[in-house]
């Protein structure tokens, strides 16, 4: 049984990675319904939260059906991060996660995210401040290092465990790599093999099929897998992986009806969370992903993007089930 503090996650948990503009409550809801064991919010800016910025505060929204769920924080100031951990704890998540892995320029070049991999002593002090500011388990997500010459994640794992983090997720790329090339899980495996390490170690990067999940589980010995980009438009990947790990057999690909139903559920959650206008607007980025690979789908996609209400969109989704195959003829 893998545990983060007192949170039980099963024998080989599958985690939804925190992704900006993706892992909001509606997306987390459909991932939970399709087998995710632990999920995280989009990353929350500590500076924004201190200023009570609406966008940062809204990212603290969590719901009972999501549990267990963690709030992920990022920032460059130690004191501010400690204060934000205290604020985030008040909404009663199951854990607090710290982002030391985001590679994008407007985060890393401001001294946050993956930038902390260049200053491990500051990372340690920041993590300690967060641990001391909350009664909740604290976890960390990071990368192998800043670049090929500074792959320091093994040192990071030991030092952060020593000051009290309860789990570590590692993306198998450096900051310089961004999301290019292949993820290298070799150092992740070495962390797991380190006899000093007793906390759960989760691997992240390039797992996009059940076969690869099984291969990485056996080859690298991690306690679980965190999945990010492969979940977009594909939340059923969690159940597909679980079924394959249990039986060695692949589930059939989702039918058109299943794609439509999950898309409809996502839309319902989006409207419930954001309201009838913003909820419809926020869903527009997802339609291409849910129906990726379908030939000659563009006319339906355009209608979905142009839809203005749940009733209209619900009708279009119903028409897709009944009319898409006929449209191919």
Distance CA 206, CA 199 (A): 23
In the DSSP assignment, the letter for residue 254 is P
For tokens 């006899």, the residue is 195
Give backbone dihedrals phi and psi of 8, rounded to 5 degrees, phi first.
-90, 130
Coil, strand or helix at 224 = strand
Distance CA 170, CA 188 (A): 7
Residue positions annotated with a catalytic role: 102
For tokens 């004191």, the residue is 79
* Closest-CA residue to 28 (of 138, 6, 38): 38
Report CA-CA distances (Å) from 62 to 9, 56, 57, 67: 18, 13, 11, 9
CA 243 from centre of chain? 21
What does the CA dihedral 126, 128, 133, 137 come to, rounded to 10 degrees? 110
21: alpha, beta or left? (left if phi > 0; alpha if psi -120 to 50): left
What is the full DSSP assignment across 219-263?
HH--SEEEE-GGGTT-TTHHHHHHHHHHHS-PPPPPPHHHHHHHH
> Are the CB atoms for 273 and 26 separated by under 8 Å?
yes
Task: For strands 7-8 and 3-4, give the pairing.
Answer: antiparallel
């Amino acid at each position: 049984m893998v545990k983060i503090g007192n949170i039980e996650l099963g024998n080989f948990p599958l985690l939804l990675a925190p992704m900006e503009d993706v892992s909001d409550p509606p997306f987390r809801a459909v991932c939970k319904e399709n087998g995710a064991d632990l999920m995280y919010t989009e990353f929350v800016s500590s500076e924004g939260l201190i200023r009570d910025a609406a966008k940062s505060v809204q990212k603290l929204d969590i719901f009972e059906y999501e549990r267990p769920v963690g709030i992920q924080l990022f920032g460059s100031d130690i004191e501010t991060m400690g204060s934000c951990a205290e604020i985030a704890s008040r909404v009663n998540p199951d854990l607090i996660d710290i982002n030391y892995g985001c590679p994008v320029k407007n985060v890393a070049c401001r001294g946050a995210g993956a930038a902390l991999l260049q200053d491990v002593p500051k990372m340690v002090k920041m993590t300690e401040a967060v641990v001391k500011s909350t009664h909740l388990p604290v976890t960390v997500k990071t990368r192998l290092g800043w670049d090929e010459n500074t792959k320091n994640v093994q040192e990071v794992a030991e030092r952060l465990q020593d000051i009290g983090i309860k789990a570590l997720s590692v993306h198998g790329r450096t900051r310089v790599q961004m999301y290019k090339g292949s993820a290298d899980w070799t150092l992740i495996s070495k962390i797991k093999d380190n006899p000093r390490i007793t906390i759960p170690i989760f691997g992240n990067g390039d797992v996009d099929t059940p076969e690869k999940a099984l291969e990485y589980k056996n080859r690298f010995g991690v306690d679980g897998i965190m999945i990010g980009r492969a979940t977009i438009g594909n939340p059923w990947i969690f159940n597909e992986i679980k079924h394959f790990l249990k039986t060695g057999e692949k589930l059939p690909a989702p039918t058109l009806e299943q794609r439509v139903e999950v898309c409809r559920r996502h839309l319902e959650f989006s409207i419930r969370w954001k309201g009838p206008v913003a909820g419809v607007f926020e869903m527009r980025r997802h339609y291409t992903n849910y129906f990726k690979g379908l030939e000659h789908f563009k006319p339906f996609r355009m209608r979905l993007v142009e839809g203005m209400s749940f009733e209209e969109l619900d009708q279009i989704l119903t028409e897709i089930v009944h009319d898409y195959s006929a449209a191919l003829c």
